[in-house]
Structure 1
């Protein structure tokens, strides 16, 4: 049941964007007693994000569980994800320890299923008003802070006041721009194209990633027998790749090591591209404003972290501000808490992604870690924890782990040649043998 309205506020929180981050934040805040207006610029309740990896990493599983979405995801056919990664040293294939627990997992599910599902869940949450066709066009400010939004609606312009305005409106966030929040944009020297295929199984049902240095590809098994295939290549190759987009895409996939049988599968979508997709890092708060999801930090699609970070930032915001937005605490201080946690948890990952987005081969530390993970099961499990964002970069390359990686690789020194890697050039492949 909604609380009585406070003087001067229509709601406790206004959220711009009813996608993954915005809907999750609305549910979590409303459960803590907040009155939430969830604004979505599109009028169709089934609208969804098209360009996406359609994967939620294991680090966000606790948020899905708290939201109560896990049974609905399982019923909708979401795939419990696990991965194998191709490198010049062979495949990294994480497996659970014989006497240990199973590997943590997240879910792969198409946004055409996921977005309407979580939006409907938000709409059914007491305390949430889902307002479709509401596009934020301005912010309402008083005494140096934001106290609401102006929105274009099917009925005309509308002003909605709230203690907190949340921007969950993606990498081109209107809320961030209107609030004047500082941003840094980093060039992504790779471009990506992806498409969805039906009846394209991946070995062992696992997600695949091919690290071809500097080029990449990945395949994610999704609901309803659909597989997402993406190629992520050095921008130097873009003009030639675009000359015949379909042939270039298919030729590249065919040449992958243990390539999926793409010619026998049914392509069910267009080949869609992300040609210029910079990595954007914004200050996530201002007086009366907070950013979550891609609005706060837009990562490299190569790593498939966007969905998970959308859910996690929504949870961190709720934990920090829920009391304050309902009038039981210091909102400005709570926003500081949120900003510090968001920066501490995500900026180190973003720093590594920014460096790797230069379309470079592996550096010395990456060669050490990936080669060891291809040769040792414990190192492969460690790689899985990092790829799942269950641990951060400092734990990933802590001194003990680096020493373990050195020991693993020393044991292989002077042995036989490692697995060859495939180097793609204009749709053709050549084999390059390398020692570990």
Structure 2
């Protein structure tokens, strides 16, 4: 039996970051994941302000950014028109590159076990994990960072509660385009009947990335058309998009991922703390999934785990303190509220929701005017020029 202070189950974004942070503190850590290297996955592909803040507090931001593609001045278009140029800095990075970049920072003292957890038992003192190989790991604390693959929780009387089944669809692909006038664009749905929240274009090291977030069911006819002819289906839902982007060409496979809103009940048990999607999921439309996972990990490893290990035992009261952390609870509440509201505001067809969307457009124009940020001058024969609202 391997004995350690902390056993981390899952070496995705949250698990790898936890192993890095605790390993650098000199904590004895075993990291359990079946794969030596993170595989490509359709998940977090940007480092935004909230992500950067958590990564900086975790002490890894400066080591991760060189692998990312920096961009700034994000264009925001609403209702078929360019509305705002946001003077913000973000970084594009493929999820697999992001995780592998963090894995390279894990101290050599951390034991990386390439296996899966078959079962576990919890006590207020020590926890035992039995792997598929039959080997066992004994730890004072287990950190559950398995993302959506949290089936092992059922064995310890934790239950995954569905809040909203197939809440949204995330669709992503690489693309080619010529002479884009922007580094990044966020373009909101044109009509609620099309069920599109927004499409975002931004650079990765490999080239242009396109992600579109919708509220279709998987068996919706539009989704079937998208699988066959993605750009034709997108043009059907966002007919004015080409005025800003020109004709995009899909490169490689189109990935489609349904998203369920799920929360874990009865999580405050002795000896185990859940982070990120293992605790509760977020809708990608809200933009809070990665920030929630990173904040969970930063708070747990910077604040709670050091305090827990400094005193005997690992009872449920200790674990509950993490779930009551004010920054964590505020982040979780904001994520759920934003996930639910975004769907209502996208699909709402009453006059009130229409006024809300027009208000968002007016707010974007107003912010742009206050910041004295002029829209770029386009060629006189450009379709975009004919759609450009005056802002001065």
Report the TM range for the smaller structure's normalisation.
0.7 to 0.9
Q: Taking structure 1 as the reference length, what is the TM-score of the superposition?
A: 0.71
Question: For 2:157 and 2:118, how far apart are their aligned partners in 1?
Answer: 14
Write the mapping of 1:35-434 to structure 2, written as runs, cut at 5 A: 35-42=28-35, 45-80=36-71, 83-88=74-79, 90-96=81-87, 103=88, 105-122=89-106, 125=107, 127-132=109-114, 134-142=115-123, 147-152=127-132, 156-185=133-162, 186-198=164-176, 202-212=180-190, 213=192, 214-235=195-216, 238-254=219-235, 255-257=239-241, 258-263=243-248, 265=249, 267=251, 269-274=252-257, 276-283=258-265, 284-328=267-311, 331-332=314-315, 333-341=317-325, 342-357=328-343, 360-361=347-348, 364=353, 366-367=356-357, 370-377=360-367
In the alignment, is the contact (CA less than 8 A) between 1:373 and 1:379 conserved in 2? no
Equivalent residue of 2:302, what SS?
Answer: helix
Structure 1 residues 67-102: Cα deviation after superposition (integer angstroms, max 9, x where no partner): 444344333243346533332384442545xxxxxx
Equivalents in 2 of 1:202, 1:339: separation in Å? 45
TM-fit CA distance, 1:27: 1.4
CA shift for structure 1 position 11:
0.9
- Contact map agreement 1:49 1:112 (CA 8 A) in 2: yes
SS at match of 1:235: coil
Q: Find the residue that maps to 2:6 and give its secondary structure.
A: strand
**Given the superposition, is the C-alpha separation of residues 220 and 313 from structure 1 closer, same or farther in structure 2, using an over 3 Å criterion?**
farther
Q: SS at the partner of 2:26?
A: coil
Which ranges in structure 2 are unaligned for 5 or more consecutive residues? 372-386, 388-392
CA contact (8 A) 2:168 2:283 kept: no
- Deviation per CA, 1:33-59: give whole Å up to 9, x if none: 3211111122xx332351224123211
Measure the CA separation in 2 of the matches of 1:380 and 1:340. 39
Judge conservation of contact 1:13–1:166 (CA < 8 Å) in 2: yes
Aligned residues of 2:73 and 2:86 also touching (Cα < 8 A): no
Cα shift at 1:288: 0.8
C-alpha distance in 2 between matches for 1:270 and 1:288:
42
**SS of equivalent residue, structure 2 residue 135:** strand
Which SS does the other structure have where 1:271 is aligned? strand
User: In the superposition, relative to structure 1, how do residues 34 and 86 fare at CA in structure 2: closer, same or farther (>3 Å)?
Assistant: same
Give aligned pairs, total. Answer: 356
Question: Which consecutive residues of structure 1, in runs of 5 or more, have no partner in the other structure?
Answer: 1-7, 97-102, 382-430, 432-436
Q: Aligned equivalents of 2:356 and 2:369: distance in 1?
A: 13
Partners of 2:82 and 2:16 lie apart in 1 by 37
1:102-136: CA deviations, max 9, x gaps?
x4x442200131121111212xx15422222x101
CA distance change for structure 1 residues 73 and 146 in 2, over 3 Å: closer, same or farther?
same
TM-fit CA distance, 1:201? 6.5
CA RMSD of aligned residues (A): 3.2
Displacement of 1:61: 0.7
